[in-house]
Amino acid sequence: MKTKLNWHFTLFLALIVNFAFAQEKVVSGTITDNEGLPLPGVNILIVGTTTGTQSDFDGNYSITVDVGSTLQYSYVGFKTQQFIIQNDTSTLNVTMIQDNALDEIIVIGYGSTSKRKSTGNIASVTSEDIAEVPVSNFQNTLVGKLAGVQITQVNGKAESGVKIRVRGVATVNGSQDPLYVVDGIPITNLDNNINDSP
């Protein structure tokens, strides 16, 4: 009798453990934008936990999740999306939807914020703004386009450089030259002489 009871208890315990492990599964997939290009660095988070992962360079990801949990996908410039994991979900390919409010998002050195919540003054000039201006050097294309930026010609010669001051005489690092970021590359000193161009 005691052996039969132990056998039933062992079988019951094995079924419970098996059922518990059956609820956890690996979900993988690829994350792309609306043009089908892979998105690296998309944050994937199990809602209600601190467990998550990121997509790799090719937009691929893999995460272990409980059935019934919700996966949240977020990426700067795209709308956050959530999906509930079902029993039959093992591959979940996600196409991120571009956020129309992208112009209101500012990526700064320590994160991202909205223009409304920004503690500093941020201005930008687009390539369309620059293309329409017939001037001899890049810096002169910025004249009158950025509030608080003073641009003056060094002398009266066309090939001479310009001085640029941003809201005062010196910037944070003590230099009187502004920091330019062109295509994500910081440039601290632009050569103002157009005659040196190749």
Q: Which residue has the tokens 């992962």?
A: 53
> Structure tokens of 24?
């956890």
Q: Where are the domains of the chain?
A: 2-114, 127-196
Rounded to an integer, the average pLDDT of 61-85 is: 90
Please give the Cα distance from 171 to 129 (Å, whole number).
Answer: 25
Band of pLDDT at residue 12, cut at 50, 70 and 90: low
Element (H, E) at 5: helix 2-22
Q: Has residue 176 got a pLDDT over 70?
A: no
**CATH T-level assignment (fold) for domain 2-114:** Immunoglobulin-like (2.60.40)
Mean pLDDT of the chain: 75
Q: Has residue 8 got a pLDDT over 70?
A: no
Rounded to an integer, the average pLDDT of 150-158 is: 73
- Could you tell me which residue, 180 or 34, shows the higher pLDDT? 34
> Structure tokens of 77?
């410039």
106 in Cβ contact with 42 (< 8 Å): no
Which residues pair with residue 27 across a beta bridge?
A: 63
Element (H, E) at 84: strand 78-84
94 in Cβ contact with 83 (< 8 Å): yes
Rounded to an integer, the average pLDDT of 55-81 is: 91
Q: Residue 141: what are its φ and ψ, rounded to 5°?
A: -70, -20
Q: Which residues fall within 8 angstroms of residue 42, CB to CB, at 6 or more apart? A: 31, 54, 55, 59, 61, 73, 74, 75, 94, 96
Rounded to an integer, the average pLDDT of 169-187 is: 67
pLDDT of residue 195: 46
Q: Residue 17: what are its φ and ψ, rounded to 5°?
A: -65, -45
- Could you tell me which residue, 145 or 104, shows the higher pLDDT? 145
